[in-house]
Chain A
Amino acid sequence: MAHIQLNDLRKSYAGQEVIHGITMDISNGEFVVIVGPSGCGKSTLLRMVAGLEGISAGTISIGDRVVNDLEPRERDIAMVFQNYALYPHMSVRENMAYGLKIAKMPVAEIDARVAKAATMLELEPYLDRKPRALSGGQRQRVAMGRALVREPAAFLLDEPLSNLDAKLRVQMRLQIKELHQRTGQTTLYVTHDQVEAMTLADRLIVMNKGVADQIATPHEVYMTPASEFVAGFIGSPAMNIFTVRAEAGVAVLPGGQRLPLPGLPASGEVRLGLRPEDMELVEGDTPSIPVVLKSVEWLGADAFGYGVIEGSDVLMTLRLPGNTLAKRGDRLHVAAAQGRIHLFSPETGKRL
């Protein structure tokens, strides 16, 4: 177990920089999730920590050692791969024991550790099977087991659940969470699934094109997204973000309506973000945003209304109560709940 420090970490491929300087301290036992859209450099970052990818600039330390020039095996880490990468010709037992065998651990100790991991992951009945005779979920657990038995300083997982069906994914997510609570391993976990990210993480790294836009707890990321990108990426359905013009404390909406908003700059354009779930229906005579509904999706407990701000073609998603009678063509008035307004700079995308 150990803490991990990333210091201005950069990666270039053939002169093209894909990771633009990431700095972070991960404390011992922390569960950090790297999340972001495809191609933003999540895997690259993780693989740099693992030692599978060279470091172009910056340093990584695990524990108190700078590991930049160490081979993966010398870094005291274990990794779970997206497609599990189990050794096809070895039994489950041998797969799990392989790393320990190479480390020349006494056989009795290897057996004990494999048995312990197998119990934890409910793999005992399959120990003598080959990976090909296992289901996807079982293979995934073997991959976890192979990492667990090493009792490494850090645990690295690259989209470990993305090959499982939805139901199994939820199950395994809970299991990973429980495992982490039990073992207290320092963990770095890559995913593009925001539900996984929000539920598992102690802290999130939200990556955007090789930059860590925000490093914070899931709660902070949701409540106070540091950039327009983070705001749009975290939360489902996505936050409504549109441009308004500030005029002496009043926002001029795309449809020309005027809405008093706290925290606006004196003048100029600004990006306004409102989460569907943060808006409430109000009477038409209070300051509000008029929305003309285009369609309503009813989900049971609640419903989503999709429409545009009246007099414009700016799309708005609204969360409506499950018993709503709203339908296509209706005109609804919504106002943001107290303190649930997000403002971003149109130039930098940063939170204002």
Chain B
Amino acid sequence: MDNSTQGPLVARGMGRTMAHLWMILGVIIVAFPVYYVFIASTHSVQTILRPPLPLLPGSDAYENYRGAFSGEINRIGGVSLWRLLGNTTLIAVGIAVGKIVISMASAYAIVFFKFPFRMACFWLIFITLMLPVEVRIQPTYKVMVDLGLIDTYAGLILPLIASATATLLFRQFFMTIPDELLEAARVDGAGPWRFFKDILWPLSLTNVAAIFVIQFIYGWTQYLWPLLVTNSNEMNTIVIALKKMVSFADADTPWNLVMVTSVLAILPPILVVVLMQRWFVKGLVETEK
């Protein structure tokens, strides 16, 4: 695409050069640690522990990754890498989908239905924004224990899926839908469910994609809650496992495997972002409806 048609601001001459330098600098700052992790995952423990770490990939990549997948992680953490990736994916997808379902449903009710205490409901949801997971962690934990949900996927997912942020985003979006569209659908014979399914949902897709990406990453990187609510290694997420792997004395830590695990922990969120990037950006910037 031609740069000059992209935005209202077109940088020229020095300005353009500066802008590019600035962006390249930003990319380096953000990407370098990630690159370093990848480099480290291709060297042996000995190389990693003997500074300085080389800046180019080493020759142990195959060895490290094969090892990680075929039981080395299992030997250290008591759970296979596959299981960890599976757990984390399930939780991240569960949280993202759950959040979307719950927040769309509540936003739909608040925007399109007149019922008593509608605004009260809205404000109730709104003030939970001020109560992050950490604040309500003790009562939530108690509830999970009472319900016998410790060490279950339900226990990992359910407490995290209520989302005031997503509800607000959907509410804002639903409010941009012209009343007449709803009225046209009513005249055409669409009930509340059909209106949602045939009209609101297709129009929301880009928003859904954006929220999915954000919440998937939120779910993928959860640390505190999974740490509390799981005891068995079998239920660990990849982030927890990573933490457990480095809690040995430095010399004993299998740094090469830690780096492999780190790369594998970073990869799925990147994949999700890249795959959904076009929709994601559209959902964030789209104004025309």
Contacts and interface: CB of A to CB of B under 8 A. Distances in A.
The answer to whether A and B assemble together is: yes
Nearest to A97: B188
Given A98-B198, A102-B194, A81 B189 contact: no
B115 to A, nearest CB: 16
Interface in A90-106: 98-99, 102-103
B180 interface: yes
B31 interface: no
A114 to B, nearest CB: 14
Interface in A73-114: 73, 77-79, 81-83, 85-89, 98-99, 102-103
Given A98-B198, A102-B194, A85 B183 contact: yes
B181 A72 contact: no
B203 A78 contact: no
Given A50-B187, A72-B187, A73-B189, A87 B199 contact: yes
B186 A81 contact: no
Interface in A125-166: 132, 146, 150
A73 B184 CA distance: 10
Contacts, number: 60
A145 to B, nearest CB: 13
A77 B35 CA distance: 64
Contacts of B199: 87, 89
A87 B190 contact: no
A78 B202 CA distance: 24
A73 B181 contact: no
B178 interface: yes
Most interface-central of B186, B188, B198, B288 (chain A CB within 10 A): B188
B188 A85 contact: no
- Kindly state the interface size class of chain A when it binds its partner: 20 to 34
A77 B187 contact: yes
Given A88-B289, A102-B194, A103-B189, A81 B184 contact: yes
A150 B184 CA distance: 13
Contacts of A82: 180
Interface string B189-200: 110001000110
A102 B183 CA distance: 15
Contacts of A88: 203, 289
Contacts of A24: none
A339 B180 CA distance: 47
Interface residue tally on B, bucketed by range: 10 to 19
A52 interface: yes
Contact of A81 (B183, B194, B202, B288): B183
A102 B188 contact: yes
**Which of B178, B184, B185, B190 has the most A CB atoms < 10 Å from its CB?**
B184
A68 B111 CA distance: 25
Contacts of B178: 83, 85
Interface string B130-172: 0000000000000000000000000000000000000000000
B142 to A, nearest CB: 45
A315 to B, nearest CB: 40
A14 to B, nearest CB: 14
A290 B133 CA distance: 86
Contact of A102 (B184, B189, B202, B288): B189
A178 interface: no
Contact of A72 (B180, B186, B198, B202): B186
A71 interface: yes
A89 B202 contact: yes
Given A88-B203, A89-B203, 14 more contacts: A51-B186, A73-B186, A73-B187, A73-B188, A78-B187, A81-B183, A85-B178, A85-B184, A86-B184, A89-B199, A98-B190, A99-B187, A99-B189, A132-B288
27 contacts: A50-B187, A52-B186, A73-B186, A73-B190, A78-B187, A81-B180, A81-B183, A81-B184, A83-B178, A83-B180, A85-B178, A85-B180, A85-B181, A85-B183, A85-B184, A88-B203, A89-B199, A89-B202, A98-B198, A99-B188, A99-B189, A102-B188, A102-B189, A102-B190, A103-B189, A132-B288, A150-B188
**3 closest Cβ pairs, A-B complex:** A73-B189, A99-B188, A85-B180
